Amino acid sequence: MTSSRSRVIFWRAAASVAWSVLLLPVTTALFAFLSRFSLFHPIQWISESFSLLYGSYVIFSLVLLCGVVLVVGVFNLEYYTVVPSVPCTKIALLGKVLHPQQSVHSLVHSMMGIMVTWCAATMIGGRYWILAAPCSEEEGVTGQKMCLNEYYLFFLLAGAFMGYSYSLLGVVRNMNYVSFQTIQQCKYLRFKGMLPQVVRYSAVQSLYSVRNYCLFYFFFGYIPRAWICTTLNVHEDSSLHRLDTVSGLLDFRLLYHLWLSGTFLLLTWHITLLLFRIFITEAYSFPVQSSFSEDVSQCLPKVLSEKQPLILKFLALQDLFLLSQQSLSRRMEVFSLSQPGGHPHNWNAICKECLSLLSDLSQRLVEYQEVVASNGRARPLSSHSDQRSTSSETLGMSLQILSIESRPFSSSSVNRFVGNVDPSSPWYGSVQSPHVMRRGPKLWTASTGRLKFAHVKNFLARRVLIMYLFNKLPEASSQALFADSQAHIWALEGLSNLVAASYKEDRFGVVQTMLPSILSTMLLLQEAVDKHFKLPHASSKPVRSTCCLEDSTFKTLRFALRAALKTAMYRITVTFGEHLHSVQMSAEHRKRLQQFMEYKE
Amino acid sequence: MNSLSLFPPPGPDGNITLFESNNELVCGTSLGSRQKQGWEPPSLLFPRESLKPHSRPESSSKAAFLDHRDTLWMRSARAWRDSGLSGLLDEIANCTEEEVPRWLTVGCSWTLALLRWVSSFHGSLFPHLTLSSEDMVAEFSQVLDWSDCAVRAFAWHPHTDKFAVSLLDDSIRIYNSKSATAPTLKHRLQRNVAALQWKPLCASALAVACHNCLLVWHVDPTSLSTRPSSGCAQVLSHPGHCPVTSIAWSPNGSLLLSASPVDTAMMVWDVAGESCVPLQRVGGGGVTFLSWSPDGSRVLASTPSALFRVWETRTWTCERWPCLKGRCQTGCWSPDGTRLLFSVQGEMVIYALTFTDAPGSSKAAAIVADLSETSFSTSQGQVRVGGQVQTMAWDPRGERLAVLLKGTEPEPVISQHILLPVVRSHSTTSIGFVKGESGAEPRLLQFHPHFPNGALLTVCWSNGRISHVPFFFVSAGGSVLNPGGSPPWPLPQSRAVENGERLLYTEMSS
């Protein structure tokens, strides 16, 4: 049954790849057209370009490029995530880059890059045509010596470099993170709106890549060249400029072709990525209830409660949000009673799932606050009394917990904020400025057995580079805590809209019974969120990214959650007004609610 | 059709309109002649003389402060940053010969001339682009004579007795029924405020449309500070999206729309994330005025050309409505969001559009009120009233419509008045004209969002007075909480056919 629902995702990804393949001839034609650009012979340029388009090389390249797009599409589908993993330290980021899975990604993309630039080189033709050519030197009396065509090598290597940097930047900038749109535009309009930005972004990124690649080739270009020469037994043409010299690299036409090929490469891949994101995040309408028992697993309450795949849970929450706002008939289904028995199963399931999401978040926040509060404060160590922990300052490094990658929907994600140990060594504290080390919450695990290990860590911690790598990035842990908060925002919006709608539409009063627990859950979360924002770095605004493709939505999700929570509370208080006084709740919550009713929050 | 001739004549000179009861406006000489009922919003006075406007038109003082001995590179970089390509070209074209070779100066001046020619061509297509940004705000603002008005924008809080006033000196003051402190908001970027709106379902957020950005203030209602720091304001800006002349929060408080006459895209802001989605439609040359229907399903977006759009908010597609005479100046929605009243520049009428979810309903705008000039004989002699509509407001119960008229050229003295037809279940009744202190002209009007005993109209006058005129009536159906649908419009659809030459038709487009 899960597979039948996952099939939706698969078909969406397939459709996105199909569209990228369909767009490929257009971008290829544009590339062929621009690659022949010459300002002074416009007629020749245009006629040449047209004759090129019908050439067999272009057709063959197209077939090859389709394959590349397909592979990129498969990687998009395999590597995407709706909950980004936010590295909290530099070393965690490094770990992410060097992760085997990521290495596969980088390797494959480098190879794809080589293929794309090979196609580009073939289409441009001319001096990028073949790897080895007969030497131009005339003194070659011993017959035709084959010489290396360095332009060709330069081009292919550029492809590998760009493919690798695409993959690398993808990790650093969380390009595999798929965020959901704030408004529901149709797919074509979304694509049309984003396309100019994607083109600009690809062109600019290609410019940076060309710059970096030229630097790289200038310093290390001789290595691949020598290697190719020895393995293929070709010679270097001494009559031509070498490309790892300043004069060799200042070939304007070469740089233009390189930049154009890079733009072409990035553009096709970015369009594939963009289409994938657009297709996969499109709102999906789940049935609220079904009269056939075999379809029950497709229904909204069931999908909401599933953990995997995560994207379906997100789509279900989005659907809940949309139906609570827009569709009267589907809301009526939510409020309806089951036919034999008269139980509000739909409402109960939806409400329960939303509330458990929200209380999970509250719990996660509370535990995080406890961990932060316990750091830097004297705290008796119960389990490790044998240690020579005279210094009660709990400082240390966390090798175990390199990152707080938020594991959504489980309160156990906080298990990684495990209790502390004090592996303080005699020299420690005197050398290191505690200032630097106390920045951010310190989280670590250790046990008595790892005492030696901790010693090593503390020793290493004094080295500057290690310090740099292990220092916590400010506000990253806060971002990581709220990484999956899009789900909570939808749960809040959906729940509060349903509650507000129930004022008029709920004929059986099914919502009334849950109102106390909804209110108390929201108020608890409100309290936890308020406390969280009092922590250092929690309320500092992140830098906004410049481009659409580098999605930084997750960086501001905590602010969005705070706003959505207040809006949800106000929606309920505005709708019910004075009637809320008759709802059972604790005195503290009543006081808090009163603040909302007087518009003082 | 309603027309001005059905109105009772305006009250005698020297009297001001105090309140409405029994469908009649009661005039008097002082405000004190009515017993108080609960909280009365304060009647404020901001004399024009006490406010100092910013006397710095753009780039006028630039030459006085710039050090001209900078190197060419520095100056070019600054010109590029300040005014883009044309500034850079201008800078190079004006260089001396020892700094730049002659061919470069000549080339730059030629390119500049070409650019100017092209932009003048563009400007002839969309004449509003030639205006300076301050004039543009004045042109498209809902406030009559915006540039000279002491009160530039006004906004009631949607849920509580609190309002914000933006003044000529670019400060914003907030008055609250529950606290004595009136915070003053000032920000470096808060210039030429064109519109204010409180976020619905929130106590503290106030969006401000400024000269070159949007500001969202978070004013803590419990704070006792009279000058909240500029750290309480979020700055939302997008290149090419200035000046912002209109903003609209979605009624559920999740999205903020902003519009600029220069930008063909309307921005949909996710305020918490400070990100925006541009909704681009090229026709019209910009967006001047936005109005979100109270049920949240539709948005009116007018352009500087004779065209306006009605967006639906599920999938954000729009209907195009080309007008015949001029641009759409203002519009307002009925409380249930099914009817849109709007006025077109150059015509002294109010049009109505009805939206139904049923497909295939005939889409045509019908004229519901004729506001052409009419003379009344009063004790002071003949008085002429009538003109184009500057702004309109429909009260939250859907029973009173306030219209602010722009004076017609020959007799501008007394023709600026507010007329208030009552929309009853089967007829529109004319209530009358609201008069202010002698010599004062109305500039801006807004209804209180939840006045318990009827409707409360807030009027900002040219002398800096903000007064509140209550209309006491019993609502025909439903309470404020559940606006049970606005009463059916008195005009049958067949009436529209009679005025065939004035019909407007829509063109569906995505």
Residue A465 pLDDT class (50, 70, 90 cuts): confident
* Dihedral class, residue A416 (left if φ above 0, else alpha if ψ from -120 to 50, else beta): alpha
Residue B257 pLDDT class (50, 70, 90 cuts): very high
Using CA atoms, how far apart are residues B438 and B17, in angstroms rounded to an integer? 11
A367/B contact by beta carbon, under 8 A: no
> How many contacts, defined by CB atoms under 8 Å, are there between A and B?
89
Using CA atoms, how far apart are residues A518 and A515, in angstroms rounded to an integer? 5
Across the interface, whether the CB atoms of A557 and B277 are under 8 A apart is answered no
Q: What is the pLDDT of residue A403?
A: 36
Per CB-CB distance under 8 Å, the chain A contacts of B270 are 182, 560
CB A404 within 8 A of CB A444: no
Question: How far B294 CA sits from the closest chain A CA (Å)?
Answer: 14
CA of A486: which chain B residue's CA is closest? B273
Across the interface, whether the CB atoms of A193 and B280 are under 8 A apart is answered yes
Q: What is the pLDDT of residue B494?
A: 34
Contacts of A18 (CB under 8 A, 6+ apart): none
Q: What is the pLDDT of residue B34?
A: 57
B316/A contact by beta carbon, under 8 A: yes
Using CA atoms, how far apart are residues A158 and B465, in angstroms rounded to an integer? 70
**CA-wise closest residue to B273 among A559, A581, A226:** A559
- In this complex, the residue of A189, A557, A599 whose CB is nearest that of residue B203 is A599
| DSSP state string for A245-294 | SHHHHT-HHHHHHHHHHHHHHHHHHHHHHHHHHHHHTS-----S--SSGG
**What average pLDDT score do residues B289-299 get?**
94
DSSP state at residue A177: B
Higher model confidence: residue B40 or residue B349?
A: B349
Residue B113: pLDDT over 80: yes
**What average pLDDT score do residues A308-323 get?**
93
**What average pLDDT score do residues B40-63 get?**
69
Q: What is the pLDDT of residue B496?
A: 34
Residue A562 pLDDT class (50, 70, 90 cuts): very high
Using CA atoms, how far apart are residues B281 and B418, in angstroms rounded to an integer? 35
Q: Order the strands of the B162-167 sheet from edge to edge.
A: B151-156, B162-167, B172-176, B184-185
A185/B contact by beta carbon, under 8 A: yes
Across the interface, whether the CB atoms of A186 and B201 are under 8 A apart is answered no
Using CA atoms, how far apart are residues B391 and B393, in angstroms rounded to an integer? 7
Residue B453: pLDDT over 80: yes
CB B184 within 8 A of CB B227: yes
Residue A280: pLDDT over 60: yes
A173/B contact by beta carbon, under 8 A: no
Interface-testing mutation among A177, A180, A181, A182, with chain B (most B C-beta atoms within 10 A): A182
* Dihedral class, residue A260 (left if φ above 0, else alpha if ψ from -120 to 50, else beta): alpha
- Highest average pLDDT, of A117-121, A229-233, A540-544, B18-22, comes from A117-121
Tens of pLDDT, residues B77-87: 887 777 677 77
Q: How many CA atoms lie within 13 A of A525 on its CB side?
A: 29
- Using only the alpha carbons of chain A, give its radius of gyration: 30
Per CB-CB distance under 8 Å, the chain B contacts of A563 are 202, 271-272
Using CA atoms, how far apart are residues B41 and B101, in angstroms rounded to an integer? 68
Residue A160 CA to chain centroid, in angstroms? 23
Interface of A with B in 504-533 (CB under 8 A): 504
Using CA atoms, how far apart are residues B445 and B403, in angstroms rounded to an integer? 8
Across the interface, whether the CB atoms of A186 and B268 are under 8 A apart is answered no
Sign of CA dihedral A212, A218, A219, A224: positive
Tens of pLDDT, residues A483-498: 999 999 999 999 999 9
- Highest average pLDDT, of A150-154, A207-211, A507-511, A581-585, comes from A207-211
- In this complex, the residue of B201, B271, B274 whose CB is nearest that of residue A571 is B201
The three-class DSSP label of residue B239 is coil
Across the interface, whether the CB atoms of B317 and A598 are under 8 A apart is answered no
Using CA atoms, how far apart are residues A159 and A117, in angstroms rounded to an integer? 5
Question: How far B268 CA sits from the closest chain A CA (Å)?
Answer: 8
Using CA atoms, how far apart are residues B250 and A509, in angstroms rounded to an integer? 29
Higher model confidence: residue A275 or residue B412?
A: A275
Question: How far A54 CA sits from the closest chain B CA (Å)?
Answer: 36
CB A64 within 8 A of CB A117: no
Sign of CA dihedral B377, B378, B382, B384: negative
Per CB-CB distance under 8 Å, the chain B contacts of A571 are 201, 252
B99/A contact by beta carbon, under 8 A: no
Token duo for residue B213: 């950005």
Question: How far A552 CA sits from the closest chain B CA (Å)?
Answer: 9
Across the interface, whether the CB atoms of B273 and A560 are under 8 A apart is answered yes
Across the interface, whether the CB atoms of A183 and B275 are under 8 A apart is answered no
Q: What is the pLDDT of residue B337?
A: 87
CA of B482: which chain A residue's CA is closest? A504
CB B503 within 8 A of CB B365: yes
Using CA atoms, how far apart are residues A566 and A596, in angstroms rounded to an integer? 9
Tens of pLDDT, residues B399-441: 888 888 886 543 333 333 455 544 443 456 777 788 778 778 8
Residue B481: pLDDT over 60: no
A328/B contact by beta carbon, under 8 A: no
The three-class DSSP label of residue B225 is coil
Q: Identify the helix (H) or strand (E) that includes residue A351.
A: helix A345-374
- HEC per residue, A310-342: HHHHHHHHHHHHHHHHHCHHHHHHHHCCCCCCC
User: Apex CA B157: angle with CA B37 and CA B343, to 5°?
Assistant: 100
CB B25 within 8 A of CB B434: yes
Using CA atoms, how far apart are residues A275 and A17, in angstroms rounded to an integer? 8
Residue A143 pLDDT class (50, 70, 90 cuts): low
- In this complex, the residue of B203, B271, B316 whose CB is nearest that of residue A185 is B316
**What average pLDDT score do residues A181-209 get?**
93
Across the interface, whether the CB atoms of A566 and B202 are under 8 A apart is answered yes
Residue A550 pLDDT class (50, 70, 90 cuts): confident
- Using only the alpha carbons of chain B, give its radius of gyration: 24
Residue B105 pLDDT class (50, 70, 90 cuts): confident
DSSP state at residue A196: H
| DSSP state string for B286-323 | S--EEEE-TTSSEEEEE-SSSEEEEEETTTTEEEEEE-
CB A89 within 8 A of CB A473: yes
Tens of pLDDT, residues A514-537: 999 999 999 999 999 999 999 888
A435/B contact by beta carbon, under 8 A: no
> Phi/psi at B270 (nearest 5 deg)?
-100, 100
Residue A221: pLDDT over 60: yes
Q: What is the pLDDT of residue A374?
A: 84
Other residues' Cβ atoms within 10 Å of the Cβ of residue A380? 7
Give the type of residue at A392.
Answer: S
Residue B495: pLDDT over 70: no
Per CB-CB distance under 8 Å, the chain A contacts of B316 are 183-185, 189
**What average pLDDT score do residues A88-109 get?**
92
CA of A504: which chain B residue's CA is closest? B482
User: What interhelical angle do A2-35 and A100-124 show, nearest 10?
Assistant: 30
Residue A392: pLDDT over 90: no
Number of H helices, E strands in chain B: 5, 34
Query: pLDDT averaged over chain A?
Result: 82
**What average pLDDT score do residues B283-289 get?**
90
**What average pLDDT score do residues B192-219 get?**
93
**CA-wise closest residue to A158 among A226, A209, A232:** A209
- In this complex, the residue of B160, B221, B316 whose CB is nearest that of residue A183 is B316
CA of B271: which chain A residue's CA is closest? A560
Higher model confidence: residue A274 or residue B40?
A: A274
Using CA atoms, how far apart are residues B143 and B194, in angstroms rounded to an integer? 8
**Lowest mean pLDDT, pick from A69-73, B67-71, B198-202:** B67-71
Q: What is the pLDDT of residue A358?
A: 97
A293/B contact by beta carbon, under 8 A: no
Using CA atoms, how far apart are residues B293 and B249, in angstroms rounded to an integer? 10
Across the interface, whether the CB atoms of A559 and B201 are under 8 A apart is answered no
Across the interface, whether the CB atoms of B274 and A541 are under 8 A apart is answered yes
- In this complex, the residue of A186, A564, A577 whose CB is nearest that of residue B315 is A186
> Phi/psi at A527 (nearest 5 deg)?
-65, -45
B438/A contact by beta carbon, under 8 A: no
B340/A contact by beta carbon, under 8 A: no
- Highest average pLDDT, of A2-6, A479-483, B108-112, B395-399, comes from A479-483
Extended beta strands in B355-427, E state: 366-370, 374-378, 381-385, 387-394, 401-407, 418-423
Across the interface, whether the CB atoms of B253 and A599 are under 8 A apart is answered no
Q: What is the pLDDT of residue A166?
A: 95
